[in-house]
Amino acid sequence: RLRLHDGKLIKDRRYHLRTYPNCFVAKELTDWLIDHKEAPDRETGIRLMQKLMDHYIIHHVCDEHSDYKDAKLLYRFRKDDGTFPLSKDVKAFMRGQSIYEKLVSMEESILKVREENSVKYQRTFLGCEMIDWLVQEGEVENRKEAVELGRALLEHGIIQHVSNRNHFFDSDVLYQFWINFRRRRRLTELLNENSSRALSESPDSPFCLRKLNPDPGNTSFLSVQTNKEIKIVSAVRRSSITSLAGNSNPYFSTTPTLVFPPVAECNPKSVLKRPVTNEELLSPGAPYVKKTLTIVGDAVGWGFVVRGGKPCHIQAVDPGGPAAAAGMKVCQFVFSVNGMYVLHLDYQTISSLIMTGPRTLVMEVMEAIE
Q: What is the pTM of this model?
A: 0.47
- Domain topology for 1-77: Arc Repressor Mutant, subunit A (1.10.10)
Q: Is the per-residue pLDDT at 255 higher than 60?
A: no
One-letter amino acid at 339 equals G
CATH code for 88-177? 1.10.10.10
CATH code for 278-368? 2.30.42.10
Q: Which of the residue ranges 78-92, 307-321, 323-337 would you say has the lowest mean pLDDT?
A: 78-92
Q: Which of the residue ranges 148-152, 204-208, 292-296 would you say has the lowest mean pLDDT?
A: 204-208
Segments in the chain forming alpha helices (H): 2-6, 26-35, 42-54, 78-81, 88-105, 127-136, 143-155, 241-245, 278-282, 322-326, 347-355
Q: Is the per-residue pLDDT at 258 higher than 90?
A: no
**Is 88-177's fold the same as 278-368's?**
no
Residue 193: predicted pLDDT: 58
> Could you tell me the pLDDT band of residue 299, with boundaries at 50, 70 and 90?
low
User: Hey, where are the domains in the chain?
Assistant: 1-77, 88-177, 278-368
> Could you tell me the pLDDT band of residue 134, with boundaries at 50, 70 and 90?
very high
Q: Is the per-residue pLDDT at 43 higher than 50?
A: yes
Residue 185: predicted pLDDT: 73
Tell me: the pLDDT tens digits for 191-234?
875 444 443 334 334 344 433 333 444 333 333 333 333 333 33
Q: Of 212, 209, 238, 242, which is closest to residue 223 (Cα–Cα)?
A: 209
Higher pLDDT, 187 or 123: 123
Winning range, highest mean pLDDT, from 25-34, 109-118, 165-174: 25-34
Average pLDDT, the chain: 78
